[in-house]
Amino acid sequence: MQSAQSETSRRHMIDSQLRTNGVTAAWIVKAMGELPRETFLPAGREAFAYLDRSVPLGKDRMLNPPLATAEILQSAEVSEQDNVLLIGAGTGYMAALLAGRAAKLVAVESDSGLAKAAATNVPGLKLVEGNLAEGAPKGAPYSLILIDGAIETLPDAIVAQLAEGGRIVTGLVDGPVRRLAIGTKHGGHVALRPFADIEIAPLPGFEKAREFVF
């Protein structure tokens, strides 16, 4: 995609997808209006960068729609004092938006190909390659944990890495419905509160244990 086309597409994305849905945080609008999403997509899929839908990155992973990314960031109220854990780095799009915004940022990615792309796309990113559901305990406690995808269940290992009073924002799988949810850690526990139905791709590794019926 040529630069002029990319800039026009980004402006349209901001006006038609973000602003119309209440995304007004100045730093998010600025960052998403300047960062070319197409550079975070596999070759041949650049034309889908600014559509209001998930775009395949390969295997079972997706780049989430712009609105889902923006809503996660806005509801998280990321500050310059935050120590942030990003789970599901993908090719680095959300990490690139966060770069320079938080005091510290650690990103976790389980797919080696995506991790390599994220490291290339976001120079200097502290990236941990490993099981998403295990997080990155060496950098804990985190004041903010962002899960860039929809999960069925929140693992205890992730909750343990969140500081008391810290926030977590994630997508949730609720049957056929996908929602965004936010929670704060109190007394060692996190109760997630859904606040918006939205398109967001499921993130593998967070499935509930299946019950057997006899």
Tokens describing residue 105: 């940022």
When pLDDT is cut at 50, 70 and 90, the band that residue 211 belongs to is: low
Mean pLDDT (whole number) for 99-108: 95
- pLDDT at residue 133 in the model: 97
Token pair 């490993």 is found at: 130
Mean pLDDT (whole number) for 142-150: 98
Lowest-confidence region among 55-59, 88-92, 161-165: 55-59
The pLDDT of residue 212 is above 70: no
Q: Which residues contact 149 (CB under 8 A, 6 or more apart)?
A: 62, 64, 88, 170, 171, 200, 201, 202, 203
| Cα 114 to Cα 10: distance, rounded to the nearest angstrom | 23
Question: Which class for 115: exposed (0-12), middle (13-18), buried (19 or more C-beta within 10 A)?
Answer: buried
- pLDDT at residue 2 in the model: 52
Amino acid code (one letter) for 85: L
Q: Which residues contact 174 (CB under 8 A, 6 or more apart)?
A: 194
pTM summary value: 0.95
The pLDDT of residue 1 is above 50: no
Which secondary-structure segment (H or E) carries 140? none
When pLDDT is cut at 50, 70 and 90, the band that residue 59 belongs to is: confident
Mean pLDDT (whole number) for 194-200: 96
- pLDDT at residue 155 in the model: 97
Q: How would you classify the pairing of strands 193-197 and 177-186? A: antiparallel
Can the peptide bond before residue 141 be classed as cis, meaning omega within 30 degrees of 0? yes
The CA-based angle 45-47-49, given to 5 degrees, is 80
Residues listed for the chain: 214
- pLDDT at residue 4 in the model: 87
| Cα 159 to Cα 145: distance, rounded to the nearest angstrom | 9
Q: How far is C-alpha 104 from the geometric centre of its chain's CA atoms?
A: 16
CB distance 115 to 91 below 8 Å: no
Token pair 């850690």 is found at: 185
pLDDT tens per residue across span 20-44 = 999 999 999 999 999 999 999 999 9
Tokens describing residue 97: 């938006």
Distances (CA, A) of 10 to 4, 33, 148, 157: 10, 5, 21, 37
